Chain A
């Protein structure tokens, strides 16, 4: 903890916050991309500095994604897309500072609630997980993969394909049972499999460049709506009053975000969509007033920052990623020789405390400060020419991939991964599930093979232990609930399409 509050620790937090603020504000650049491009730097930092910096980047970038929504109706990150129309309208009516103030204050409280739950849940889960054997880890991996399928906002079939591709990628290299080299094409570079971090830089960084080059879409910049009266009052006090009037909404949305963020493969984007959609539904049922849009934004923004924190619960206590950012974080842990999971709390208590502390500082101190700063410079930040920035990002991708192992082969892997991810994006296949598959694949295979060999291939042993049975039942329940939710969503879309058709005809 002392290291976190040393000058280096504070510099890492402030630098991370600033980097996240700028990156999140520029439309088209996501929080995940910001973290992926930070990895080459993180590689050379002490984990107690690198990981808090990542926390600061994510917490601030998710909020800063709203700057593009306010100025140009272009969400800076996918998490902001859930309430972009509402936030844009608020900014036109009451000024940019008030709109961004709701985002920042909602994010701060949501992040704080998520952090408190992270501290309690991660510690409790880690204590329970100490008794886990390979059988339980097998079911946890199955549960994580299943959650990954239903957490996708798009087609479940496509999410499943992405997961299968990710798990298939994880089988490249030496196998865990016989040490046999699989799919190595005779190259010694392939024996160790795909380097996870290199793959991430390609999947999120280089594919972003390729997509922009392919689409060549122009970002239309607009003016920042003026704020009447005191800017600090509009940014801090009025949103706080709004929150006090809607305390239950903030708590409910933060709890939704925490739950969604906890599910592997879901994360802040889905959290924001669920909470803001629920609020929109509630708004439609009740009477519309001047604050209807404000409440939708408050719900979405408090939910997404709560999800940022809770995604770390499975990452720290079980070694499973809650979202793409924590998947990268797991890669950083392994890169530093630290094994995430229940033993982390025993072997590295200082690091765990530093991470909890970083979440508190990022949400309570950095978010309001950088939030206010970003609101001031919003007009300039969104005018950063993305075409030039993407050129620079392509250069950072090259050097970042190389710096991990000083191996030019990794650069080729990164470029080809980027091309592959670009193709997947074109087909609407989610990338987060590929990453989830790459992380859970080795856990799934190793725990299955160890358990099978241990039980002399008596597969009934997978259903013997009480916690294993509990996890299996949780998986079945998740499938049933997931299928029901997907079916309801599909019928709602059909009904909306029919209604639109009917309206067009009349």
Chain B
């Protein structure tokens, strides 16, 4: 990412939060009949270990505060890159959300065309590849492999 300390700090904090959430979640899990730990044991231990790693990552990041401060000052969210990612994720979720209403072909075509355009393909070339590949995938899976798309 180019700003390793800042990235490590963000990931470290995120892992501490996730670890804490998992640990609190496991408090509601039942124990074995004889009182020994049951389903909570492993996720609980993992939560503690993950949070500890998060702390270690964050500490490693703040060990050199001058460098971290410099990275922090120049830190900016990767605006368009992030937007592109969210767009692809939204296109990917079209099929699970709308497959009943519109089916495989339009949702898959939207994703393939969208990804190609976001990767700077020429629109007409992207359109041709989208039509051919969508139909190709559809026929291969429905006719040859018997998957009801």
| A interface list, Cβ under 8 A from B | 40-41, 44, 157-158, 160-161, 164-165, 167-168, 171, 175, 177-178, 180, 182-183, 206, 209-210, 212-216, 385-388, 390-392, 394-399, 402-403, 406, 408-409, 411-412, 414-416, 418-419, 422, 426-429, 441, 444-445, 448-449, 452-453, 457
Contact = CB atoms under 8 A, between A and B. Distances in A.
Contacts of A41: 145
Contacts of B125: 385, 388
Given A214-B81, A388-B126, A391-B121, 19 more contacts: A40-B145, A44-B145, A161-B53, A171-B43, A177-B32, A178-B30, A178-B32, A209-B88, A213-B119, A386-B119, A394-B88, A397-B92, A398-B92, A402-B95, A416-B89, A418-B89, A428-B1, A444-B42, A457-B36
A445 B39 CA distance: 10
B57 A161 contact: yes
A41 B144 CA distance: 10
B89 A419 contact: yes
5 contacts: A178-B39, A216-B84, A216-B120, A387-B119, A429-B11
Interface residues of B, number: 66
A300 to B, nearest CB: 27
Given A161-B57, A399-B104, A216 B1 contact: no
Interface of B: 1, 4, 7-8, 11, 15, 22, 25-26, 29-30, 32, 36, 38-39, 41-43, 46-47, 49-50, 53-54, 56-57, 60, 78, 81-82, 84-85, 88-89, 92-93, 95-97, 99, 104, 107-108, 111-116, 118-121, 125-126, 129-130, 133-134, 137, 141, 145-149
A391 B88 contact: no
Contacts, number: 183
Contact of A180 (B38, B120, B126): B38
Contact of B133 (A386, A392, A412, A453): A392
B41 to A, nearest CB: 8
A209 B119 CA distance: 10
Given A213-B85, A408-B96, A394 B118 contact: no
Given A161-B50, A209-B88, A391 B126 contact: yes
A426 B93 CA distance: 22
Contacts of A426: 1, 7
A398 B129 contact: no
B74 to A, nearest CB: 17
Given A183-B25, A392-B133, A168 B50 contact: yes
